[in-house]
């Protein structure tokens, strides 16, 4: 398979999960494991451009696929607008759900560059966050959507502003 | 109190560049060469004698290095606990099990898949005994879980009794007398404050590396309390504290669940010492549900008595709190935190009686709020019922009974003094931001259209930043972990010779942004730009003695220590700069990364020059020692008491019972704010957890003690689609108990929100005659309440 643009070849046990392959064989530890049951979304990566919970997939199922993890999102040292949005709008606290949340948000914006708040909320409902109450994650995605459209992002809503 | 301008800046977090690029390091991300992996055999039954345990087949499997049972670790004793009331947890099951998920055997193998395979190969036979789960049944002692204790009731918390030492009197007679008044209105509600699972998204993980050559143990753990854990490991394993180093790297959420010290942390450490190799265990989500601590779990009755015109005359809370099977860190002491704030923001006689009982379930302990959300829930639900009974607006009835600003410090019935507050200022602000009258009009209009729309108000006061040190004498010391006190905070501030600053604190954050907030404190004090300051935490070998991050304590305690250390560095630097600039120390001003003479910005020196001089004795003024580094260990004189009032507007679908939150407003007062962006984030997350309790979350054991909610499919935490955006505002009432006037904000949102939602839902259903529905208000339960009311 190709991971973040680099070809990767390995022999693995058939039962090895894709997330364990990424984390333990390739040492790409930015993809996290939160529940092993496909519910929390912390392990979300892109497989052939689609968001996939990598704990629900065996590594061998990704044979020949192109996989993008959080480590492959920034290009030439430039943060992806979604990464920038999470930083600018305090879209993360402990950071554990963040890589998966960012990967899902990127997939959402790839399909819809002008999502409403409700569309954002439904677009990321497969990713659980326990720290932020999602408020600032929604603001982060709104920020990124504006940036990706070349527009000025909405101002932050905390007292005192920027 | 000193409060200056850099405080209050929404500085972007210093933590984030690593985390948003997937480059943050959490415990499970570390895998030194040769690391062995651990899996536990856990009990599938709630209560049983173990009549046979055979590990021979597992031990013989390829890749299995060791299999340990109680016999191997009995000499270490049970898991150490701060408040050793009740039965302490055996490190591995001692011939019996007392809850589903109790660890029976520990497998150490070359990889995690092999370890799990070997667990399956362990043979165990149980003689299953009847379990007790129901709290009232447990309190009746019909079945006694631990026969040697003679009862399931471990302790009863009251204002009197335990508090006689503080000269407190039982206020029950005053309340009983009030009930006899001819104009008395008495409301009483039985309520459940259900058991919850904390659900940090990062499962707990621990990696131990023993170096036999050096006799040194390094433990990396997903913990909120690195220093306490190091002390606990040393105590339990009979080691010197100098030989145990704990590192808490990035910690993926804690909410109290990682404030405990766990048997797995001890066992993994011990196994690494036995085997001379790195050993790591990472819990599964199922284990996070059945063997990491739970929170809440109360049943009880709240009784409020007042006059017809809205004057409170007294309040009583009687409850039973679930301790689970074994006592761990603070277990039995958690309801005490509720006792301290049981009278909320109101001046009235209060009585409190909470029985702590054992059941065949996982241990309960501190979960975000810890005792305070429970107590506030009972009080604020009772106030709502009382307001409805006398036909008074729920905001107005609260305002009528608040402590007034000129009454602070206000000594409550529990003996503690509220530090500072202007409770009515918060409700005035809430009225403004919510346009309360307009909301009421919208609700009434919706009702006129036949819709079930309700508005709920919820106030709270909480207690955090714990002190005074006297608490250490009543069960809140950390002496069982070889620690002197729970109430110190520490901060080290060093200016490096290149003019950058290194700050090291004794806490262990799990997402609260300490690297940013602390840099602001130091930048504010020294005029060194934030980007030139790096904050370290979570390594017991390099940081000054500390405890950890919990109880919303870090900013009030460790923050104060850092503030004081900064002031000392500043004073010393002023003397050095004064000599370099041939001026008087009192004329030195620090700004923009340098020091200059007041009124003469051109006469200045960079911090690098000051720091360099500080390490060259011949350049120092007389009486000034070399170096530019200060450490302060700081102890508060009182706790801090944040407060606020929340408002929710909800709509209930009469066909399905589904609750939709239409609006959520919150006004919180945590004193001065250093970073309002971070403060808001803490409130958002806190509210989400309170809403989670109100609407979704429920750790359910069936009557045989099986945990029915051990995955995230069954234990429902809120998703983005379940929550609205929150509208926040703040009032600022600085505390006099610390130098920055800060109170702490980590738990406020949770303590303020669950009752706000339930009050709103009950208000929505009030036209049908519904007076109470127990949490969680899932559609089926709400629908049933509607059907019952209509029938």
Q: Considering only residues 23 to 42 of chain A, which have any Cβ-Cβ distance to chain B shorter than 8 Å?
A: 23-24, 28-37, 39-40, 42
Q: A85 and A67, same structural domain?
A: no
CB B421 within 8 A of CB B733: yes
pLDDT digits (tens, 9 = 90+) for B143-174: 999 999 999 999 999 876 555 555 667 889 99
Q: A27 and A61, same structural domain?
A: yes
- For residue A120, the Cα-to-chain-centroid distance in whole angstroms is 14
pLDDT digits (tens, 9 = 90+) for B31-84: 999 999 999 999 999 999 999 999 999 999 999 999 999 999 999 999 999 888
Contact B21 A74 (CB under 8 A): yes
Q: Which residues of A touch B515 (CB under 8 A)?
A: none
Contact B22 A159 (CB under 8 A): no
A5 reaches B (C-beta below 8 A): no
pLDDT digits (tens, 9 = 90+) for B209-250: 999 999 999 999 999 999 999 999 999 999 999 999 999 999
Phi-psi sector, B548: left (phi>0), alpha (psi -120 to 50), beta: left
B166 reaches A (C-beta below 8 A): no
Q: A107 and A49, same structural domain?
A: no
Q: A108 and A88, same structural domain?
A: yes
Which DSSP string do the residues of A56-76 spell out, in sequence order?
SSBGGGGTT-EEE-GGGTSBT
Give the side-chain half-sphere CA count within 13 A for A2. Answer: 8
Nearest to B93 by CA among B37, B133, B50: B50
Q: A90 and A29, same structural domain?
A: no
CA separation for the pair B283, B127 (Å, rounded)? 27
Sequential pLDDT tens for chain A (162 residues) = 999 999 999 999 999 999 999 999 999 999 999 998 999 999 999 999 999 999 999 999 999 999 999 999 999 989 999 999 999 999 999 999 999 999 999 999 999 999 999 999 999 999 999 999 999 999 999 999 999 999 999 999 987 654
Tell me if A161 is assigned to some domain: no
User: What single-letter DSSP state applies at residue B639?
Assistant: -
Mean pLDDT across chain B = 94
Give the chain A residue whose CA is nearest to the CA of B726.
A135
Vertex B27 angle, CA B21 and B31, to 5°: 95
Tell me if A153 is assigned to some domain: no
- Closest CA–CA distance from residue A133 to any residue of chain B (Å): 4
CA separation for the pair B516, B529 (Å, rounded)? 12
Instruction: Tokens 């004081």: give the residue.
Output: B564
Give the chain A residue whose CA is nearest to the CA of B718.
A128
Contact B711 A39 (CB under 8 A): yes
Q: A105 and A86, same structural domain?
A: yes
Residue that is last in its domain, among A72, A105, A129: A72
Q: Considering only residues 196 to 215 of chain B, which have any Cβ-Cβ distance to chain A shorter than 8 Å?
A: 199-203
CA separation for the pair B392, B551 (Å, rounded)? 35
CB B375 within 8 A of CB B339: yes
- Closest CA–CA distance from residue B739 to any residue of chain A (Å): 23
Nearest to B675 by CA among B745, B733, B752, B736: B745
The CATH number covering residue A86 comes to 1.10.150.120
- Whether B570 shows a pLDDT value over 60: the answer reads yes
CB B651 within 8 A of CB B764: yes
Q: Considering only residues 215 to 244 of chain B, which have any Cβ-Cβ distance to chain A shorter than 8 Å?
A: none
Tell me if A156 is assigned to some domain: no
Collect all residues with Cβ–Cβ distance below 8 Å to B582 and sequence separation of at least 6. Answer: none
When pLDDT is cut at 50, 70 and 90, the band that residue B1 belongs to is very low
CB B117 within 8 A of CB B332: no
SS3 B452: strand
Contact B23 A69 (CB under 8 A): no
SS3 B449: coil
With residue B139 as reference, give the H or E element that holds it: helix B135-139
Give the chain A residue whose CA is nearest to the CA of B730.
A159
**Residue B260: exposed, middle, or buried by beta-carbon count in 10 A (0-12, 13-18, 19+)?**
buried
A76 reaches B (C-beta below 8 A): no
Domain extent for A60: 2-72
Phi-psi sector, B679: left (phi>0), alpha (psi -120 to 50), beta: alpha
C-alpha distances out from residue B616 to A160, B296, B346, B581, B584, Å: 43, 57, 59, 16, 20
Nearest to B370 by CA among B553, B146, B587, B523: B553
Q: A108 and A59, same structural domain?
A: no
CB-nearest to B252 from A96, A161, A162 is A96
Q: Which residues of A touch B9 (CB under 8 A)?
A: 160
Which DSSP string do the residues of B365-429 spell out, in sequence order?
---TTTTHHHHHHHHHHHHHHHHHHHT--HHHHHHHHBPPGGG-SEE-TTS-EE----HHHHHHH
Instruction: Tokens 């009752």: give the residue.
Output: B755
What distance, in Å, lies between the first and last C-alpha atoms of chain A?
43
Structure tokens at B137: 């049944």
Q: A45 and A18, same structural domain?
A: yes
Q: Which residues of B touch A70 (CB under 8 A)?
A: 21-22
CA separation for the pair A124, A141 (Å, rounded)? 10
Tell me if A162 is assigned to some domain: no
Give the chain B residue whose CA is nearest to the CA of A84.
B20
CB-nearest to B725 from A29, A117, A129 is A117
Nearest to B341 by CA among B350, B328, B330: B350
B9 reaches A (C-beta below 8 A): yes
CB-nearest to A132 from B8, B26, B681 is B681
pLDDT digits (tens, 9 = 90+) for B254-301: 999 999 999 999 999 999 999 999 999 999 999 999 999 999 999 999
- Closest CA–CA distance from residue B433 to any residue of chain A (Å): 13
CA separation for the pair B7, B547 (Å, rounded)? 25
Contact B685 A93 (CB under 8 A): yes
CB-nearest to B8 from A79, A126, A160 is A160
Which DSSP string do the residues of B106-121 spell out, in sequence order?
EEEESSHHHHHHHHHT
pLDDT digits (tens, 9 = 90+) for B453-472: 999 999 999 999 887 666 65
**Residue A53: exposed, middle, or buried by beta-carbon count in 10 A (0-12, 13-18, 19+)?**
buried
CB-nearest to B253 from A88, A96, A135 is A96
pLDDT digits (tens, 9 = 90+) for B672-705: 999 999 999 999 999 999 999 999 999 999 999 9
Collect all residues with Cβ–Cβ distance below 8 Å to B533 and sequence separation of at least 6. Answer: B500, B501, B502, B503, B519, B522, B523
Residue B715 has a pLDDT of 97
Mean pLDDT across chain A = 96
Q: Per DSSP, which regions of B32-183 are E strands?
A: 36-42, 48-54, 64-68, 96-97, 103-109, 123-128, 153-158
Report the predicted TM-score, pTM, of the whole model to 2 decimal places: 0.97
pLDDT digits (tens, 9 = 90+) for B718-753: 999 999 999 999 999 999 999 999 999 999 999 999
- Whether B425 shows a pLDDT value over 50: the answer reads yes
Nearest to A1 by CA among A55, A34, A32, A45: A45
Nearest to B647 by CA among B756, B731, B775, B727: B756
Residue B209 has a pLDDT of 98
With residue B244 as reference, give the H or E element that holds it: strand B244-247
Q: Which residues of A touch B281 (CB under 8 A)?
A: none
Residue that is last in its domain, among A20, A55, A72: A72
Q: Spell out a b/e string for A91-117, using b for 16 or more CB atoms within 10 Å of the CB, else e.
A: bbbbbbbbbbbbbbbbbbbeeeeebee
**Per the structure, how many domains does chain A have?**
2
Give the chain B residue whose CA is nearest to the CA of A83.
B20
Tell me if A109 is assigned to some domain: yes
Q: Which residues of B touch A131 (CB under 8 A)?
A: 201, 253, 511, 681, 685
B598 reaches A (C-beta below 8 A): no
Contact A79 B21 (CB under 8 A): yes
When pLDDT is cut at 50, 70 and 90, the band that residue B478 belongs to is low
- Whether B768 shows a pLDDT value over 60: the answer reads yes
Tell me if A125 is assigned to some domain: yes
Residue that is last in its domain, among A44, A72, A100: A72
Q: A86 and A57, same structural domain?
A: no
Q: A68 and A6, same structural domain?
A: yes
State the helix-helix crossing angle for B372-390 and B748-765, rounded to 10 degrees.
Answer: 30
Longest dimension (CA), chain B: 91
pLDDT digits (tens, 9 = 90+) for B774-785: 999 999 999 999
Q: A111 and A89, same structural domain?
A: yes
When pLDDT is cut at 50, 70 and 90, the band that residue B671 belongs to is very high
The CATH number covering residue A67 comes to 3.10.20.30
Tell me if A35 is assigned to some domain: yes
H helical segments located in B419-553: 423-434, 436-448, 514-526
Q: A107 and A59, same structural domain?
A: no
Contact B720 A39 (CB under 8 A): no
Assess: ipTM above 0.90.
yes
User: What single-letter DSSP state applies at residue B346?
Assistant: B
CA separation for the pair A86, B20 (Å, rounded)? 7
Q: Which residues of B touch A157 (CB under 8 A)?
A: 680
Tell me if A36 is assigned to some domain: yes
Contact B31 A24 (CB under 8 A): yes
């Amino acid at each position: 398979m190709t991971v973040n643009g680099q070809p990767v070849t390995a022999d693995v046990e058939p039962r090895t999960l894709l997330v364990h392959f990424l984390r333990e064989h390739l040492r790409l530890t930015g993809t996290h494991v939160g529940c092993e049951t496909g519910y929390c979304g912390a392990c979300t990566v892109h497989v052939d451009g689609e968001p996939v919970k990598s704990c629900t997939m065996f590594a061998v199922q990704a044979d020949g696929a192109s996989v993008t993890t959080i480590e492959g999102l920034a290009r030439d040292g430039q943060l992806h607008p979604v990464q920038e949005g999470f930083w600018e709008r305090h879209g993360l606290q402990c950071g554990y759900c963040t890589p998966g949340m960012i990967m899902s948000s990127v997939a959402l914006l790839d399909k819809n560059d002008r999502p409403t708040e409700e569309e954002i909320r439904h677009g990321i409902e497969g990713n659980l966050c326990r720290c932020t109450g999602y408020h600032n994650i929604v603001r982060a995605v709104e920020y990124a959507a504006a940036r990706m459209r070349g527009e000025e992002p909405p101002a932050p809503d905390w007292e005192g502003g920027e | 109190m000193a409060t200056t301008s850099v405080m209050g800046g929404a500085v972007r977090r210093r933590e984030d560049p690593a985390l948003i690029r997937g480059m943050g390091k959490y415990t499970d991300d570390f895998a030194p060469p040769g690391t062995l992996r651990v899996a536990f055999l856990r009990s599938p039954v709630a209560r049983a004698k173990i009549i046979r345990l055979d590990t021979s087949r597992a031990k013989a499997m390829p890749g299995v290095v060791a299999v340990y049972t109680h016999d191997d670790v009995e000499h270490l004793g049970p898991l150490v606990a701060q408040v050793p009331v009740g039965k302490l947890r055996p490190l591995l099951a001692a011939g019996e099990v007392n809850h589903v998920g109790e660890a029976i055997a520990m497998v150490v193998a070359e990889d995690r898949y092999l370890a799990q395979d070997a667990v399956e190969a362990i043979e165990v036979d149980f003689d299953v005994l009847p379990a007790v789960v129901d709290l009232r049944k447990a309190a009746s002692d019909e079945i006694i879980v631990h026969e040697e204790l003679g009862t399931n009731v471990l302790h009863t918390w009251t204002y009197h009794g335990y508090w006689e030492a503080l000269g407190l009197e039982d206020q029950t007679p005053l309340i009983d007398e009030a009930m006899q008044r001819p104009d008395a209105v008495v409301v009483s509600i039985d309520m459940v404050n259900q058991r919850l699972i904390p659900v940090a998204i990062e499962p707990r993980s621990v990696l131990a590396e023993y170096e036999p050559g050096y006799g040194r143990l390094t433990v990396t753990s997903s913990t909120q309390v690195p220093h306490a854990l190091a002390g606990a490991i040393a105590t339990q394993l009979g080691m010197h504290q100098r030989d145990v180093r704990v590192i808490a790297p990035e910690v993926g959420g804690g909410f109290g669940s990682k404030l405990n010290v766990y048997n797995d942390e001890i066992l993994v450490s011990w196994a690494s010492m036995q085997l001379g190799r790195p050993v790591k265990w990472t819990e599964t989500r199922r284990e996070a549900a059945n063997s990491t601590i739970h929170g809440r779990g109360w049943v009880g009755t709240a009784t409020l008595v007042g006059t017809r015109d809205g004057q409170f005359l007294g309040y009583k809370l009687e409850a039973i709190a679930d301790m689970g099977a074994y006592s761990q860190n603070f277990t039995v002491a958690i309801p005490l935190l509720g006792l301290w704030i049981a009278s909320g923001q109101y001046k009235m006689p209060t009585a409190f009686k909470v029985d702590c009982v054992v059941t065949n379930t996982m241990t309960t302990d501190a979960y975000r709020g810890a005792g305070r959300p429970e107590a506030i829930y009972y009080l604020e639900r009772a106030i709502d019922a009382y307001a409805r009974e006398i036909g008074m607006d729920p905001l107005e009835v609260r305002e009528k009974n608040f402590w007034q600003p000129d009454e602070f410090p206000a000594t409550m019935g529990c003996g503690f003094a509220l530090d500072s507050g202007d409770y009515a200022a918060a409700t005035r602000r809430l009225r403004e931001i919510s346009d309360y009258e307009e909301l009421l009009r919208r609700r009434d209009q919706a009702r006129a259209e036949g819709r079930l729309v309700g508005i709920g108000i919820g106030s709270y006061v909480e207690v955090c930043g714990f002190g005074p040190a006297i608490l250490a004498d009543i069960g809140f010391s950390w002496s069982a972990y070889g620690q002197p006190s729970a109430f110190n905070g520490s901060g080290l501030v060093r200016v490096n010779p290149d003019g950058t600053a290194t700050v090291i604190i004794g806490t262990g954050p799990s997402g609260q942004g300490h690297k940013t907030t602390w840099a602001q404190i130091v930048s504010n004090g020294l005029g060194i730009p934030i980007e030139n300051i790096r904050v370290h935490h979570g390594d017991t070998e390099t940081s000054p003695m500390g405890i950890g991050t919990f109880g919303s304590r870090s900013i009030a305690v460790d923050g104060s220590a850092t503030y004081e250390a900064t002031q000392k560095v500043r004073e010393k630097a002023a003397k050095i700069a004064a000599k370099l600039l041939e001026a008087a120390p009192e004329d030195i001003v620090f700004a923009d990364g340098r020091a200059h003479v007041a009124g003469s910005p051109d006469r200045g020196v960079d911090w690098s020059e000051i720091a360099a001089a500080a390490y060259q004795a011949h350049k120092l003024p007389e009486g000034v020692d070399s170096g530019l580094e200060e450490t302060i260990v700081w102890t508060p004189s009182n706790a801090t008491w944040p407060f606020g009032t929340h408002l929710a507007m909800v709509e209930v679908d009469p066909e399905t019972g589904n609750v939709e939150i239409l609006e959520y407003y919150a006004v919180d007062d945590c004193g001065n704010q250093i970073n309002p962006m971070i403060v808001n984030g803490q409130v958002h997350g806190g509210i989400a957890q309170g809403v989670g309790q109100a609407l979704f979350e429920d750790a359910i054991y069936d009557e045989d003690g099986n945990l029915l909610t051990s995955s995230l499919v069954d234990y429902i935490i809120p998703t983005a689609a379940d929550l609205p955006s929150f509208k926040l505002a703040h009032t600022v009432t600085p505390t006099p108990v610390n130098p920055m006037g800060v109170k702490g904000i980590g738990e406020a949102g949770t303590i303020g929100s669950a009752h706000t939602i339930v009050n709103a839902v009950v208000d929505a259903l009030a036209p049908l005659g519904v007076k109470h529905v127990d949490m969680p208000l899932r559609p089926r339960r709400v629908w049933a309440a509607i059907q019952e009311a209509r029938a």
